[in-house]
């Protein structure tokens, strides 16, 4: 009973925070599927990573807020219902997630596990011979609560994203990946530094203060 009560209190607290969250309200107003869009928006506005005409791969894409943001950046003058960009798309967005999501016009979506070799082959086939300008990864594993285990899972996903980026990014391309402070964080920073000329950690304002998440940005392959 104590566990259930505690769980209810946590859920209620989260719900209250969620309902009153200004980014949630802004996402609803502007037609984004989640507040996560503003995390990528902040990173992009600081580093100017997204430009029309690019090829972008969105890993861990569901429910689609990052793909929506990319879509709008590629079609800034084409606004539809809820502010969603519609019409001709000046750029290529290839999205992947284990979960399905509602289609976004012009976004090539692949449903599957990025850690599955067959799914990775599908993604690479969708990219084809085109060099990729930007890889964005909001991937996160289902956390067990065991720090060492969770750190290993997170590290494995980020390292896969780095490997994919090394193989497909343009020399001046960039990778944005969600990571978590704690066990394994230092190793991930080091992995980024081995792969990229410039590495910058960013904690967007849209990322909740109590959240351990941050984002590593690597620019320019070594």
SS3 content of the chain, % helix, strand, coil (to 5): 45, 25, 35
Distance CA 222, CA 216 (A): 16
pLDDT by residue (tens digit) across 170-197? 999 999 999 988 888 999 999 999 999 9
- From 214, 209, 150, select the one nearest 184 (Cα to Cα): 150
Output the CA angle 10-33-173, nearest 5 degrees: 110
pLDDT by residue (tens digit) across 90-110? 999 999 999 998 999 999 999
pTM of the model: 0.87
The answer to whether residues 67 and 176 belong to one domain is: yes
The answer to whether residues 23 and 66 belong to one domain is: no
Output the CA angle 27-181-38, nearest 5 degrees: 15
CATH number at residue 135: 3.40.50.150
Which residues are designated catalytic?
Answer: 178
pLDDT by residue (tens digit) across 1-55? 333 333 444 455 445 555 568 888 898 889 899 999 999 999 999 999 999 999 9
124, 105 in Cβ contact below 8 A? no
The answer to whether residues 51 and 64 belong to one domain is: yes
Instruction: Print the domain residue range for 101.
Output: 31-221
The answer to whether residues 93 and 181 belong to one domain is: yes
120, 127 in Cβ contact below 8 A? no
């Amino acid at each position: 009973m104590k566990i259930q009560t505690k769980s209810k209190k946590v859920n209620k607290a989260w719900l209250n925070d969620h309902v009153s969250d200004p980014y949630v309200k802004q996402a609803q107003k502007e037609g984004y599927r989640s507040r996560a869009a503003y995390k990528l928006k902040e990173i992009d506005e600081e580093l100017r990573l997204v430009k029309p005409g690019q090829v972008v791969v969105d890993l861990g894409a569901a429910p689609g807020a990052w793909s929506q943001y990319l879509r709008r950046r590629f079609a800034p003058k084409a606004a539809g219902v809820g502010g969603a960009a519609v019409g001709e798309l000046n750029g290529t967005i290839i999205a992947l997630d284990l979960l399905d999501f509602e289609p976004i016009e012009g976004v090539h979506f692949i449903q599957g596990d990025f850690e599955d070799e067959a799914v990775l082959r599908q993604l690479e086939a969708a990219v084809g011979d085109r060099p990729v300008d930007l890889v964005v990864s909001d991937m996160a594993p289902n956390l067990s609560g065991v720090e060492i285990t969770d750190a290993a899972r997170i590290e494995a996903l980020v390292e896969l994203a780095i490997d994919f980026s090394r193989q497909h990014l343009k020399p001046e391309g960039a990778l944005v990946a969600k990571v978590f402070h704690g066990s394994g964080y230092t190793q991930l920073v080091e992995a980024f530094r081995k792969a990229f000329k410039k590495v910058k950690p960013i904690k967007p304002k849209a990322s909740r203060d109590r959240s351990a998440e941050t984002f590593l940005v690597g620019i320019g392959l070594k």
